[in-house]
Copies of this chain bind each other. A is one copy, B any other.
Amino acid sequence: MSAASWSEFELIARLTAGLPLGEEVVVGVGDDCAVLDLGGSRLLLLTCDSQVEGVHFTLRTSSPEEVGHKALAINLSDIAAMGGEPRYALVSLHVPRHCPLEVLEGLYAGLRQEATAARTLIVGGNVSGTGAAETLALDITLLGESERGRVLTRAGARAGDTIFVTGSPGDSAAGLYSLLDPDHPYPPAACERLRAAHRVPKPRLAEGRLLSQLGPQIVTALIDVSDGLSGDLGHICERSGVGACIEVARLPISAELRALAATLGRDPLAWVLHGGEDYELLFTVAPGYEEAVQARFAAAGAAPITPIGQVTEAASGLRLRWPDGREEPLPVQSWDHFASPGQH
């Protein structure tokens, strides 16, 4: 039995089963961040995530600066997905012998810009060789903070809640598709924006803070869309012990994604539902608070949010409702870290 027989989530669950936790561990393995209560006025958020050449990026399709931006952005997104504020970063680089210095300097330039924009300080790190492997990798650890009682997890969704998503999921995966098949005559402006969504995703930090201020009584569960809408909704359902029904007619689909899908003769829906690496926020809102949340986002000039379905009882599982009222199970097709970039 090899690692490839298991999904990333199955592997983590198997390896970390039964890990001891202390009283001060508010949230352990299994959410976007660990949450620690060290007795100060605020809670500490801890997260780490990797970007590996040939798995998460290639230097054929992204510049070193873009890779640096994204490596930090995906970790910032994990802090956003708990409603927290990022504070400090550690940067661990695995550097092949023959990696040009300019690549590393480009990476770090991207990291610095992203850190500055997010008011995050890079306070340490590590550089290691890679031996015979020619694969560049970055591991970023991020430490953030949140107010007591304001941390949002994946675990609080209840039947009857409304499911919302920020922005327009699917753009990143469509952008990647166009990068991997560059010879098709895509509409240039649309293509450029979708590729940018893939190369340099914007973590929804301000939106995560807004949701945190609304609090867990109103915003019952929160996650960022890194594995794809269906996969990450599945994570909320699993941790909350609920089901969910997504209404196809309500899914936000960007004009750019529609334009690109049209030139390919494809339905954009697969990208919207299963495309990974959007780093939008997916969250559930208690009944009666939907309009208040939308008003709050509009007043703050935050990203657009769209109600896309309802939380249901666990027995219903994940379902998709078509405009004609027909329902069918929604398959979870998550980004698989053991697959090649072209396969997800």
Query: B-contacting residues of A (Cβ < 8 Å)?
Result: 1-6, 8, 11-12, 14-16, 19-22, 25, 28-29, 33-34, 36, 38-42, 44, 46-50, 52-56, 88, 90, 92, 94-102, 104-105, 108, 112, 116, 121-135, 137, 139, 141, 143, 145, 337-340
A22 to B46, CA, bound (A): 19
Cβ–Cβ contact A98 & B2, under 8 A: yes
Instruction: Please name all residues of chain B whose beta carbon is closer than 8 Å to the beta carbon of A56 when the two chains form the complex.
Output: 128
Cβ–Cβ contact A132 & B135, under 8 A: yes
Q: Shortest distance in angstroms between A62's beta carbon and chain B's nearest beta carbon?
A: 15
Cβ–Cβ contact A21 & B121, under 8 A: yes
Closest to A42 in B: B38
A52-B337 CB under 8 A given contacts A124-B28, A124-B29: no
Instruction: Please name all residues of chain B whose beta carbon is closer than 8 Å to the beta carbon of A112 when the two chains form the complex.
Output: 19
Cβ–Cβ contact B90 & A20, under 8 A: no
Can you name 20 A-B pairs with beta carbons within 8 Å? Answer: A2-B99, A2-B101, A3-B96, A3-B98, A6-B101, A11-B95, A15-B105, A34-B88, A38-B40, A38-B44, A48-B92, A52-B94, A54-B133, A55-B131, A92-B139, A94-B137, A128-B337, A131-B135, A133-B134, A139-B139
Cβ–Cβ contact A16 & B131, under 8 A: no
A5-B123 CB under 8 A given contacts A135-B132, A139-B92, A141-B48: no
Q: Shortest distance in angstroms between A337's beta carbon and chain B's nearest beta carbon?
A: 4
Point out which of A49, A54, A94, A105 has the most chain B C-beta atoms below 10 A from its C-beta.
A94
Q: Given A36-B123, A48-B90, A126-B139, 11 more contacts at CB 8 Å?
A: A1-B101, A3-B95, A34-B88, A48-B124, A48-B126, A50-B92, A94-B94, A94-B137, A130-B137, A133-B135, A141-B141
Closest to A53 in B: B131
Instruction: Please name all residues of chain B whose beta carbon is closer than 8 Å to the beta carbon of A11 when the two chains form the complex.
Output: 95, 104, 127
Cβ–Cβ contact B99 & A15, under 8 A: no
Contact of A130 among B48, B55, B143 (CB under 8 A): B55
Instruction: Please name all residues of chain B whose beta carbon is closer than 8 Å to the beta carbon of A141 when the two chains form the complex.
Output: 46, 48, 90, 141
Closest to A143 in B: B46
Contact of A3 among B21, B33, B99, B108 (CB under 8 A): B99
> Which 10 A-B residue pairs are closest in the complex by CB-CB distance?
A54-B131, A40-B40, A34-B123, A133-B133, A133-B135, A34-B124, A139-B139, A141-B141, A4-B97, A129-B338
Cβ–Cβ contact B121 & A20, under 8 A: yes
A40 to B12, CA, bound (A): 32
A112 to B29, CA, bound (A): 14
Cβ–Cβ contact B5 & A101, under 8 A: yes
Instruction: Please name all residues of chain B whose beta carbon is closer than 8 Å to the beta carbon of A98 when the two chains form the complex.
Output: 2-4
